[in-house]
């Protein structure tokens, strides 16, 4: 069985170390990109099923990853993580085309359930 | 008359020993201008220091949030047995780490909200929404605490309450804060309630009037204004039972006033508390 792949785009080593453990212990191959530029390259190299992306990245807006997905078939699901728990941020992310907005810290059970649902 | 040389004449104490020339108008003006310039420098200096304090709070809060998020995530991984089985006591300890961590995150979020409101003008992101839905949501979020403390939670809303046009996040925050305080300060077996109605004639403009009440320990009248001031804690002792940033009600007042409403408390020690806030009717549509 081919392992499903998750691209994790997040610049905090503390957060990625925790999420990598969570994702890998659920059997998903995980690629960590600390920057938007690295993540855009990883989309074509790694071909993720799910992208878990932080909204604020050192070299840009996490939503800009969406523009790199136009040629991907089928397009991966994109879940945006943010610390800003407000309607304006949620509306901006959803209208840009991401599949879900997750407020940090995302309860791990909810995150696993969401990714498993996207992989099904 | 010739003065007796042995008689000493007492000095006239009513007259100053040094006689100054009265300041001219020009000199008075010059002095006032100098004092004004000094006061303006002081105000500028205080504003700079206040901005630094706000920036410091914001930086610290951001710096605390990331490692705390990692701690909570790692703890949840352990709790869910993803790194191996754990026993009941380990599960309990890890769950306490998670609960404590999430409480800290709420505190950090409050500091960030305060810092944001202090460093830039607050704006309203308006939409039309049901106030009853906000109450439902807040009730749901507090269900476990209500059950744990064996409190009665009463929702007293008329069925025909109109929809509200305003900043939903901010009004939700105010309700969350008032109900959170009421639940925290009400001992087991007590009652917490929320009521709302449209009032005309009592306020300068017809308004939505919201009341959050409790049967808790109450607040002394001389603390009614203090509790809305930033960083205020009625019980400032190190051993105080209730903890918090002292910013919740300050933020609530900012949000209510931003809508053009007002917020106040009616309470006395041992008699519970009733917090009220209004949202002017121009933000309410039938």
Average model confidence (pLDDT) across chain A: 91
Mean pLDDT of chain B: 84
Chain B contact for A34, CB < 8 A? no
Among A60-64, B4-8, B10-14, B224-228, the range of highest mean pLDDT: A60-64
* pLDDT above 90 for A50: yes
The answer to whether residue A18 neighbours chain B at the CB level (below 8 Å) is: yes
Say what the pLDDT of residue B214 is. 95
Q: Does A17 touch chain B (CB under 8 A)?
A: yes
Interface contact B72-A85, CB threshold 8 A: no
Task: Return the number of CB contacts < 8 Å for A and B.
Answer: 52
CB neighbourhood size of B216 (10 A): 22
Residue A15, chain B, CB below 8 Å: the answer is yes
The residue among B44 and B125 whose pLDDT is bigger is B44
Min Cα distance B141 → chain A (Å) is: 15
Question: Closest approach of chain A CAs to the CA of B212, in angstroms?
Answer: 23
CA–CA gap between residue A90 and residue A84 (Å, rounded): 9
Give pLDDT tens digits for A14-40: 899 999 999 999 999 999 999 999 999
Q: What token pair was written down for A41?
A: 């390259």
- C-alpha of A13 from chain center: 15
Burial (Cβ within 10 Å: 0-12, 13-18, ≥19) of residue A87:
middle
Q: CB contact, 8 Å: A72 with chain B?
A: no
**Which chain B residue is nearest to residue A90, measuring alpha carbons?**
B169
Q: What is the pLDDT of residue B125?
A: 80
Query: Are A18 and B125 an interchain contact pair (Cβ–Cβ within 8 Å)?
Result: no
Looking at chain B, the whole-number percentage of residues with pLDDT higher than 70 is: 86
Residues in chain B, total: 286
Q: How far is B231 from chain A (nearest CA, A)?
A: 23
User: Residue A16's domain is classified under what CATH number?
Assistant: 3.40.50.2300
What are the Cα distances from residue B95, in Å, to B41, B74, B78, B98, B128? 52, 11, 10, 5, 38
pLDDT at B234: 60
Query: Residue A18 and residue B76: Cα distance in Å, rounded?
Result: 10
**Closest approach of chain A CAs to the CA of B93, in angstroms?**
17
Question: How close is the nearest chain B Cα to the Cα of A49, in Å?
Answer: 22
The dihedrals phi and psi of B198, each to the nearest 5 degrees, come to -90, 130
| Residue B282 pLDDT class (50, 70, 90 cuts) | low
CB-based contact, A40 to chain B, within 8 Å: no
Whether the CB-CB separation of B269 and B218 falls below 8 Å is answered with yes
- How distant, in Å, are the alpha carbons of A81, B129, B138 from that of B126? 24, 9, 20
Q: pLDDT tens for residues B70-121?
A: 999 999 999 999 889 999 999 999 998 998 888 888 888 888 877 777 777 7
Q: Is A27 on the interface with B (CB under 8 A)?
A: no
Q: Which domain holds residue A111?
A: 5-119
Q: How many distinct structural domains can be found in chain A? A: 1
**pLDDT for position B164:** 84
- The set of long-range contacts for A34-37, using a CB threshold of 8 Å and a minimum separation of 24, is A34/A9, A34/A10, A34/A58, A35/A9, A35/A11, A35/A59, A36/A9, A36/A60, A36/A61, A36/A62, A36/A64, A36/A65
3-state secondary structure of A22: helix
Average pLDDT over residues B26-49: 92
């Amino acid at each position: 069985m081919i392992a499903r792949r998750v691209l994790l785009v997040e610049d905090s080593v503390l957060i990625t170390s925790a999420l990598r453990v969570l994702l890998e212990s659920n059997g998903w191959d995980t690629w960590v990109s600390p920057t938007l530029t690295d993540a855009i390259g990883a989309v074509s190299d790694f071909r993720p099923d799910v992208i878990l992306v932080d909204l604020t990245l050192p070299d840009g807006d996490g939503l800009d990853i969406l523009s790199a997905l136009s040629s991907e078939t089928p397009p991966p699901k994109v879940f945006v993580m943010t610390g800003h728990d407000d309607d304006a941020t949620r509306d901006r992310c959803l209208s840009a085309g991401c599949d879900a907005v997750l407020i940090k810290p995302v309860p791990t059970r909810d995150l696993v359930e969401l990714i498993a649902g996207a992989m099904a | 008359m010739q003065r007796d040389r042995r008689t000493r004449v007492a000095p006239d104490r009513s007259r100053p020993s040094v006689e100054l020339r009265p300041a001219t108008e020009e000199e008075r003006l010059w002095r006032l201008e100098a004092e004004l310039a000094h006061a303006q420098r002081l105000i500028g200096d205080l504003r700079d220091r206040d901005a630094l304090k706000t920036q410091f709070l914001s930086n610290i809060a951001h710096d605390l949030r990331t490692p705390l998020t990692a701690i909570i995530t790692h703890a949840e991984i352990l709790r869910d047995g993803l790194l191996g089985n754990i026993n009941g006591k380990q599960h309990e300890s890890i769950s306490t780490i998670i609960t404590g961590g999430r409480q800290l995150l709420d505190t950090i979020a409050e500091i960030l909200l305060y810092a944001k409101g202090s460093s830039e003008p607050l704006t309203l992101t308006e939409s039309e929404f049901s106030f009853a839905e906000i109450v439902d949501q807040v009730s749901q979020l507090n269900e476990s605490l209500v059950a744990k403390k064996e409190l009665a939670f009463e929702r007293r809303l008329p069925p025909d309450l109109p929809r509200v046009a305003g900043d939903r996040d901010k009004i939700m925050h105010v309700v969350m804060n008032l109900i959170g305080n009421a639940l925290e300060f009400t001992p087991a077996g007590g009652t917490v309630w929320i009521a709302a109605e449209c009032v005309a004639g009592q306020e300068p403009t017809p308004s939505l009037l919201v009341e959050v009440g409790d049967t808790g320990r109450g607040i002394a009248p001389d603390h009614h204004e203090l509790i809305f001031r930033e960083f205020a804690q009625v019980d400032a002792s190190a051993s105080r039972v209730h903890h918090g940033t002292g910013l919740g009600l300050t933020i609530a007042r900012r949000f209510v006033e931003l809508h053009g409403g007002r917020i106040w408390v009616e309470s006395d020690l041992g008699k519970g508390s009733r917090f009220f806030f209004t949202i002017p009717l121009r933000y309410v549509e039938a």
